[in-house]
Amino acid sequence: MKNNVYSILKGKFLVSDDSFKNWRVIIFISVLALVMIASSHSADKKVHEIARLNNEVKELRSAFVDGRSQLMRLKMESSLVKKMSEKGVFPSEIPPRKIRIKSQQ
């Protein structure tokens, strides 16, 4: 048992007669490790991109809601009366009446 541990620590399995099998396994595991690391980095990059886009969506949604509320305030009759009274245009005291035209046939 002690001899086996020393041979592994010294690396004899890499230089022995059947070391070709061992090298193939080591290279295969190394390539798999590199693929796994690259995949992990790619996934992390996508997670950061998704988080950035979610923040941008939240900002745009809040800007939309703010713009919509400003538009609603500007469309109110009281704000229109105030703006037009500054220019000298006042609302009519007489309510509008419907004009009906009878066709002559």
pLDDT over threshold 80, residue 105: no
Residue 10: what pLDDT? 77
- pTM for the whole thing? 0.57
pLDDT digits (tens, 9 = 90+) for 11-48: 777 777 777 777 888 899 999 999 999 999 999 999 99
Residue 30: what pLDDT? 96
Residues in contact with 13: Cβ distance below 8 Å, sequence separation at least 6, in sequence order: 7, 19, 22
pLDDT tier at 58, thresholds 50, 70, 90: very high
d(CA 60, CA 66) in angstroms, rounded, equals: 10
Rg over alpha carbons for the chain, rounded to the nearest Å, is 40
- Cα→Cα distances 94→33, 58, 60, 85, 87, Å: 85, 47, 44, 17, 20
Residue 17: what pLDDT? 74
Residue 56: what pLDDT? 98
For residues 95 and 33, which has the higher predicted lDDT (pLDDT)? Answer: 33
Specify whether the CB–CB gap between 22 and 13 falls below 8 A. yes
d(CA 77, CA 92) in angstroms, rounded, equals: 13
